[in-house]
Structure 1
Amino acid sequence: MTSVAVLLSLFHESDGPLMLNAMRNTNIELEYSNWLSHFPILSFKAMAEVDITKCSQLDVGIVLEYFKKSFPFLTTIRMAYFLDFETNKFCDLLSNSTVCEVDLTVDISPLLSSNVSVLYCESESRSMQNRYFSMPSRRRPRPTLSHISKLTLEGRTDFSDSELSDIAECCNSLIYLNIRGCLSVTDIGIANLILRCVKLHSIIASDTSFGRSSISALCSRGQGTANIPLMEVDTEHLKLSDINLQLLHIGGCKGVCETSLEDLLSKEHKLKSLCLRGTCLVDQALYRFPGSTLEMLDVSNTMISRDALMHTVVRNSGLTHLVASGCRNLCLHRSKNSEDNLSPPNLSENFFIKLGKECQLEKLTIGWGFSDLSVNEIAPALISLKALTVGLGGSLGPEGLKQLCILCPLLESLSITFQVISDVVIMNLLVTLRKLQALSVCYCIGDLSPLFLNCKASYLRKLKLERVTPWMTNDDLALLTQNCANLMELSLVGCTRLDVDAQQIISSGWPGLVSLHLEDCGLVTADGVDNLFDCKAMENLLLRHNGCGIRRNFIIHAASKLPMLRSLSLDWCDASEGDLNLPNFSDRYSLSNVKIARCKLRKCSLDFHNKSAPERPVHKETLVLVWNSTSLQKTVVKERIT
């Protein structure tokens, strides 16, 4: 889809040939305004929603002008994954008087974790002449009013406090804001917006600088600014009545301290969705939380205990989504941090029995404390379960997996990691669960055998087999393409018997693949990667330790051959010429991030004193390239980034 095609679709049928000839002889970027003013354009008054997500060939500035002329009553614009939408066009979008919902999502940066060890970092600015839009010499006046009520800016690292200020000034009707992964906005900027947008009741700010100031702003709406440092806020915004939040996602926000989080939760009564992943959440904060309307709760990677979580579950019987992976204290019945006078007196010690009695779950992500026995205890809550993830710390064995086939007839997604499996159980799952669309079996004890490949599972859309099928050959892979013919996402790790012909099997068997991960898969890339270019819908590609045959210009070549490719992960070990050319703005096409791992040779610790023992590659560092509309960030980190 191009800007020319969009423009032609908006002209009358009789004007089409004339306009096409005119376009061939001129520059659409320079002349589109003349065409819009001198030629009659069709008006679609019933058009309320437009979705141009992933149409990366469109010139967004021009297309927005088209929509403004032809769709006078447009209410929703979805234009996700447009890296070239620069922030200076944001005010133009806000000024559209009819639009109520805007989605400008881009890929989340792979460097969100604050735990990565940065070895080197530099930023390369995009030259003005290469941009789709160039900044005018004088800033355009901000729009005076916007009717936008729902705004999604997820992943936009080029948006800063300046854009948040524009939103706060113009969007008086804003009720929903998603700024997840917006790394350039500050805690102060978020706090100012919270105070000004008094109707805001849904905030997704995970993996941002959301912290003490933002929490103080939420607690102080309608009470003044005494507790908010370094902020200048017009007092008229503080006299309006407070609106309780319905949705709050602040997972991964390291600026949130225990005290401020406890204060915030103690004042929220109407929350329906709460994400506190990886925060300083402790038992006392959950005990003080008065809410009873939760439908989604994410407390993964926190220090909460089983008793505190059970207390919250009992009060929120409408809970349908529970994410509690990485919570080591779920193995304990009482946290050391809990206070006796806050702990409810009449709770049963068995958390899963309580959960089974109180809730009807649709999604459960769990690890520590979950076992085969837990499946039976939680059984009544699993009747409507659609997604189950069991990870590190769980002890779900074959018996528990058998029970799932009976208890969860609606299951659509199943992910098991570090569990005990068997052929019979996996085959039973594939035969029994006819609604299953996603299956992930990773790093489990008890390798699968080729027998399970005979199960026909045409309903599967996503399949991960990581370190569980080392025996897989090209013939086995071909059989998999026949029995799982509709896969859109595939991940294979540790299939060491595959060779270069596997590429042809994959591209011919699954031409519509959107995501492909191949790691430690024999010699799949020993002779290049040309056959995978037939998968034109590919958006995410990972190739690591599959044979030293990736050419120097592979990244740029792949970006040009795969028009939808946004994320690419490689390893220098596979570079046939010892190096890889890195793309810039002009030749990145749709790429938003590239990760290249580097290894070093090291002996196994058991063979350290054996001089003749072979050295094996182990991870050393990762180069991460991340683009936005204004810059390219180059970062080297110690950790392995996938």
Structure 2
Amino acid sequence: MRGHDWINTSLPDELIVEIFRILDSKSSRDACSLVCKRWLHLERLSRTTIRIGSTGSPDLFVSLLSRRFINVITVHIDERLSVSVPAQLGRRRASLNNKLSSIKLHYVAEKSWSEDNDYDSYCLSDSGLAALGEGFPKLEKLSLIWCSNVSSEGLESLALKCSYLKSLDLQGCYVGDQGLAAVGQCCKQLEDLNLRFCEGLTDRGLVELALGVGKALKSLGVAACAKISDISLESVGSHCKSLETLSLDSEFIHNQGIIAVAQGCPLLKVLKLQCINVTDDALNSVGINCLSLELLALYSFQKFTDKGLSAIGNGCKKLKNLTLSDCYFLSDMGLEAIATGCKELSHLEVNGCHNIGTLGLECIGKSCLRLTELALLYCQRIGDHALLEVGQGCKFLQALHLVDCSSIGDEAMCGIASGCRNLKKLHIRRCYEIGNKALVAVGECCKSLTDLSIRFCDRVGDEALIAIGEGCSLHYLNVSGCHQIGDAGVIAIARGCPQLSYLDISVLQNLGDIAMAEIGEGCSFLKEIVLSHCRQITDVGLSHLVKNCTMLESCHMVYCPGITSAGVATVVSSCSNIKKVLVEKWKVSQRTKRRAGSVISYLCMDL
């Protein structure tokens, strides 16, 4: 019968709540909550996660949200994030701003805060943390990112109320030992703890936490905590037998602490170290004891040689992911040991290890047949033969990253293209020996390629993009700084890649309005475009672009002399989903500023 509410009449609350839970986006749930009061109430019951930025009064928001969303188990509070009013609210924006202002003013008046404390109203305090514990007693996951006003007192009050807490991120919070000890005493189910940049902590706090939650703790991250030393890691090794992930960035950690963890935590699967005082002895212990290790990342090691890496290769047979960054004393011998011992290796990154050359990577290509992602950054000694071996042996390779690899050229990339036909992502930057021949081969052979970035490669021109446009359906393309690319190449992409959502064509001096018109005509799904430093593009091309690209969310167009305030206004008025426009300040009229001030960013304030 027309007008009859079959849903509310027939469906029980539990079923409607379950439907809300499986909706895949916040916007969909928000839309459902506007249907009627019953749906609003039920949708609030279905919410399990909330995020709070720094704008406004976090303490007030915590109190208000806890009354409305009583089943929340995950809370993210990040004081690096701000909350801005969307541009598309139009005329409603002013009234909403007035309402928000009145709420804030009322709150400040209630608390009788002085002007000196006005800044603190934008930061979560201990009282807000206490309200969090009171309002969300079922809390399981809490992230407090750079909440500089919270202290041990607030953390202690939270721990007393939230005994079900499983994950706690305190990055950048100046909490002390007392608060961390309270977490150890009260939150016996804690599995994941991040203490990066918690400068107020000492060994005492971490030792007491390890004593309290040692049986449950599975993941620990510590960085820039000058007062945490090997004593803490010895406690972790003694009590945290279930530890699976450890991330350390400290100049105060030595072999003693790493060895204690390696010997005491046999289930360790992920180990990330940036510890300049750790030597081969520690890595040798990891290789002997951590037989379940799957991911190893080593950054800026000054005292680590092939001996340590060989121990990893000999012992960690399950290793799948290896990152070597700025390890200056590693050579081909160490990488050969990994290739021989770690047959399951699927991800490899070599960054700035200047003594690793062609021979080491050849061994990877011959032995690690399951490799799916390879990144070579600032590897001047790795030549074409290395990638030819990878192309012949690693048939499952899906992602390749090359940065400043001056000895790698077209021959190597042709080998990759012919051998790795499942390639989906290819990122190349400042590899000056790679040109059109390589990219033509990729276009002809790698039909699954969706993500291509070729930045500042002088020998790549229109011929390369024409082949890519004919052979691949890209979603992401970055060709910034490839000055030989002009209209013909970009037009081929526009016609051949209708699913394109990201495009960076900055610093292309030969690109004009014709290419913009073709992009607008062919790439209706485009969401982000970067066309800064393009001197031939004008307001005319911009108007053609935005005419059909209605999904555009971000546009960067600084240092484009042909684009004026009229072009900026065209982008703002034509793109209802626009979230960010980067442009010179003097190109933004007062009318445009009033209409979309919240989405406009300025690179150079005085231009």
With structure 1 as the length reference, what TM-score do the two structures score?
0.61
Task: Choose 462-471 or 130-139, whichever is displaced more.
Answer: 130-139
Do 1:321 and 1:363's aligned partners in 2 also have CA atoms closer than 8 Å? no
Do 1:305 and 1:332's aligned partners in 2 also have CA atoms closer than 8 Å? no
Identity over aligned pairs, percent: 17
1:397 corresponds to: 357
Task: Choose 406-415 or 67-76, whichever is displaced more.
Answer: 67-76
Structure 1 position 297 matched with structure 2 position 246 = yes
CA gap of 1:284–1:292, structure 2 versus 1, over 3 A, is same
Do 2:79 and 2:146's aligned partners in 1 also have CA atoms closer than 8 Å? no
Matches within 5 A, 1:537-576: 537-538=525-526, 541-543=529-531, 545=533, 547-551=534-538, 570=556, 572-576=558-562
CA displacement, residues 479-501 of structure 1 (integer Å, 9 cap, x when unaligned): 53443333343322113332222
Partners of 1:289 and 1:586 in 2: CA distance: 57
2:488 corresponds to: 501
CA gap of 1:480–1:210, structure 2 versus 1, over 3 A, is same
Structure 1 position 361 matched with structure 2 position 324 = no
Matches within 5 A, 1:407-556: 407-419=367-379, 420-449=381-410, 452-453=413-414, 454-455=417-418, 457-469=420-432, 471-473=434-436, 477=439, 479-495=441-457, 496=482, 497-517=484-504, 523-524=510-511, 529-533=516-520, 534-538=522-526, 541-543=529-531, 545=533, 547-551=534-538
2:168 corresponds to: 203
Partners of 2:358 and 2:432 in 1: CA distance: 18
Structure 1 position 245 matched with structure 2 position 190 = yes
Task: Choose 551-560 or 425-434, whichever is displaced more.
Answer: 551-560
Which SS does the other structure have where 1:455 is aligned?
helix
Higher relative contact order (CA 8 A, sep 6+): 1
CA displacement, residues 536-571 of structure 1 (integer Å, 9 cap, x when unaligned): 5555555555x3244469999978865665565x46
1:169 corresponds to: 134
Task: Choose 296-305 or 426-435, whichever is displaced more.
Answer: 296-305
Partners of 1:328 and 1:567 in 2: CA distance: 41
Matches within 5 A, 1:608-619: none
CA gap of 1:222–1:451, structure 2 versus 1, over 3 A, is closer
CA gap of 1:480–1:349, structure 2 versus 1, over 3 A, is closer
CA gap of 1:321–1:160, structure 2 versus 1, over 3 A, is same
Which SS does the other structure have where 1:276 is aligned?
strand
Do 1:295 and 1:320's aligned partners in 2 also have CA atoms closer than 8 Å? yes
Q: Unpaired runs of 5+ in structure 1? A: 1-13, 20-34, 112-121, 140-157, 224-240, 335-346, 599-629
CA displacement, residues 147-175 of structure 1 (integer Å, 9 cap, x when unaligned): xxxxxxxxxxx995587565422221212
1:611 corresponds to: none
Do 2:280 and 2:308's aligned partners in 1 also have CA atoms closer than 8 Å? no
Partners of 1:525 and 1:191 in 2: CA distance: 61
Partners of 2:432 and 2:32 in 1: CA distance: 45
What is the CA distance between 1:373 and its match in structure 2? 2.2
2:269 corresponds to: 320
Do 1:321 and 1:362's aligned partners in 2 also have CA atoms closer than 8 Å? no
Instruction: Report the residue type matching 1:572 in the other structure.
Output: V
CA gap of 1:287–1:106, structure 2 versus 1, over 3 A, is closer
Which SS does the other structure have where 1:289 is aligned?
helix
Instruction: Report the residue type matching 1:432 in the other structure.
Output: G
What is the CA distance between 1:247 and its match in structure 2? 0.8
Partners of 2:552 and 2:49 in 1: CA distance: 23
Do 2:32 and 2:39's aligned partners in 1 also have CA atoms closer than 8 Å? no
Which SS does the other structure have where 1:435 is aligned?
coil
Partners of 1:383 and 1:310 in 2: CA distance: 25
What is the CA distance between 1:465 and its match in structure 2? 0.8
- 1:218 aligns with one of 175, 180, 198: 180
CA displacement, residues 309-348 of structure 1 (integer Å, 9 cap, x when unaligned): 4553443333333334x655557879xxxxxxxxxxxx99
Structure 1 position 384 matched with structure 2 position 344 = yes
Structure 1 position 274 matched with structure 2 position 220 = yes
CA displacement, residues 343-373 of structure 1 (integer Å, 9 cap, x when unaligned): xxxx999432443425733333331334422
2:309 corresponds to: 352
Normalized per residue, the structure richer in helix is 2
What is the CA distance between 1:575 and its match in structure 2? 4.7
What is the CA distance between 1:403 and its match in structure 2? 2.3
Do 1:204 and 1:248's aligned partners in 2 also have CA atoms closer than 8 Å? yes
Structure 1 position 286 matched with structure 2 position 237 = no
CA displacement, residues 119-154 of structure 1 (integer Å, 9 cap, x when unaligned): xxx999989922897758779xxxxxxxxxxxxxxx
Task: Choose 493-502 or 56-65, whichever is displaced more.
Answer: 56-65
Number of aligned pairs? 507
